[in-house]
Amino acid sequence: MPEYKAPLRDMKFVMQELLDSETHYQKLGYEDATPDMVDAILGEAAKFTEQVIAPINQIGDEQGCTWTDGNVTTPDGFKDAYQQYVEGGWPTLSQGVEFGGQGLPHSLNTTIGEMMSAANHSFAMYPGLSHGALATIEAHGTDEQKTMFMPKLVEGTWTGTMCLTEPHCGTDLGMLRTKAELNDDGSYSLTGTKIFISAGEHDLSDNIVHIVIARIPGSPEGSKGISLFIVPKFNVNSDGSVTDKNAVTCGSIEHKMGINANATCVINFDGAKGYLIGSINKGLNCMFTFMNAARLGVANEGAAAAEASFQGALAYAKDRLQMRSISGVKNPDGPADPIIVHPDVRRMLLTQKSIAEGGRALIGYLAQLVDIDHASQNPEEKAISNAKLALLTPIAKAFLTETGLECTSHGIQVLGGHGFIKEWGMEQLMRDTKISCLYEGTTGIQALDLLARKILGSKGEILKPFAGEVAEFCQTALATEGMEEFIKPIMGYAGQWQDITQSIGAKAMQDPDEVGAASVDYLMYAGYITLAYFWAKMAKVSIDALNNGAEDKDFYEAKIKTARFYIQRILPRANGHAACIEQGAKSMMELDEEHFSF
């Protein structure tokens, strides 16, 4: 099993040097988030993830969860680890002080989220969805609902879920059948079945708060008639105290490809008591608060998986002796050279490293945009941040999970046959990571959201704030000696990005299928360019550090060389996606349905 070590040096580089977190926090009024405080928190988080939750990752996969008469038992060690998580105050970190939180920045919590996901994906999911439930209730709930549910969710003694999918409908939420009928006391009785509910039932917390979409009788059909509700496992008094069991049951748990230690549940609501959040028939508007938070969390899972797989593959590649280097013996005292000397192994390791570190930079940037949305008092600043978040969230979610999955495949490949064996833990990483490409909207759904709803829906306007930022950086950075090799390619691709967008828009006027045919290639194209921008920024910071006599010379030189690898060997993948887009929809759509046969 890979021995996970939190990459604190690189995390601090992203936060402190690349993104200047100290100035960012001071500007937004996060006075307690001093450099010393942040370093201390990251250090303690590293200890917790390395010493408490990483050691139970493999046993969690082997044992899985067990279901008995509607109750779910988590694997050995999970309940104790979750208790330590709560006692350590980790759930409260970025929550508001008015509900018992510590009031620290979202971006700091995001960094800790990467550690947790890389150390133990299944464990990290139990508290992970609570953040979305909290954000939804805080943004759209009444004062009474906040009093009832927020304090216990904040402290982590209760957890939250998101209940969307039903047996007959997934992404097409307008087809839902769960109904909500008004009670005399103003609450609602919910009846229906939800499936694929992560952490829908377990033995870690005292209560589970489900955020549920349903239709009130008489509401319009389709997505226009969806309302949102809070439905607790145990009923709750107005002061937040627990009463009797609600009519919420776990019908079964799924037997899955991965994340076996996290219970994926069928949840039945049999006249369960619930509380309307927001306005009737505006449930999807409220739900996007939850979904956007969850999508950034899933993007973080992709980068975390790349990091975890890289660590396991790197340790093996340095130790495993196999063949001699074709450029000459590198280990004369041994029977063979370590496989890290071979170019193809380096190709895989550097791909993992460039995706993990580039993804960390992108996620850190997005997390700071969330900080701005939460804490800025400047409406214009918030509007620009929200525009960038709207553009980059689907890119980060889909691109980082797809490339993260690729990196876990490389991790297996570096180990060869040993990578295919369970005891090494590399194949578990791949199985666990595949779900990240699926939940909170598949790659195809993220791509349609990006291209159809946001890019074409705004007539390209949503691109302008981020594109302007990239262009401004490129122009400024060219003045730094050694930056041209990173900047020139990005400028070329950025110009092509605009041309491709206009071309798709023109074709779509004649054939709407052109949008769906181009969407995934468009998103991946955008993803490669976006990560190139952050690699160029990291190269610039590193060059400046070396020019200023930085002591950690090896670290900064490694950054520059990894940036070079990304620009020269990964960014050109965008050309293939551009070529596919150019070919259009015809070859996808011309085969008649009846001719799809085997």
DSSP state of 332: T
Annotation says 17 is catalytic: no
Closest by CA to 489, choosing from 467, 472, 474, is 474
Closest by CA to 352, choosing from 290, 416, 308, 296, is 308
Amino acid residing at 348? M
Residue whose tokens read 């019908």: 251
Compute the distance between CA of residue 340 and CA of residue 325 in angstroms, rounded to an integer: 10
462-to-19, 65, 389, 443 alpha-carbon distances in Å: 23, 43, 10, 20
Closest by CA to 180, choosing from 274, 253, 62, 296, is 274
- Asked if residue 192 lies in contact with residue 263, where contact means CB atoms within 8 angstroms, the answer is no
Q: Considering the candidates 357, 440, 469, 484, report the single residue annotated as catalytic.
A: 440
Q: Which residues of 190-215 are buried (b: 16+ CB within 10 A; e: fewer)?
A: bbbbbbbbbbbbbebbebbbbbbbbb
Compute the distance between CA of residue 417 and CA of residue 322 in angstroms, rounded to an integer: 13
Amino acid residing at 455? I
DSSP state of 243: E
End-to-end alpha carbon distance in the chain: 40
| Lookup: tokens for 329 | 């013996």
Burial class (CB in 10 A: 0-12, 13-18, 19+), 325: middle
User: Which three-class secondary structure string do you get for 128-183?
Assistant: HHHHHHHHHHHHHCCHHHHHHHHHHHHHCCEEEEEECCECCECCCHHHCCCEEEEC
DSSP-based helix, strand, coil % in the chain, nearest 5: 65, 10, 25
| Lookup: tokens for 296 | 């950034």
Compute the distance between CA of residue 590 and CA of residue 170 in angstroms, rounded to an integer: 27
Residue whose tokens read 């980082």: 400
DSSP string, 351-389: HHHHHHHHHHHHHHHHHHHHHHHHH---HHHHHHHHHHH
Residues contacting 12, CB < 8 A, separation 6+ = 39, 42
Compute the distance between CA of residue 244 and CA of residue 240 in angstroms, rounded to an integer: 13
Closest by CA to 396, choosing from 294, 490, 486, is 294
DSSP state of 219: P
Backbone φ, ψ for residue 591 (5° rounding): -75, 120
Q: Which residues are catalytically annotated?
A: 440
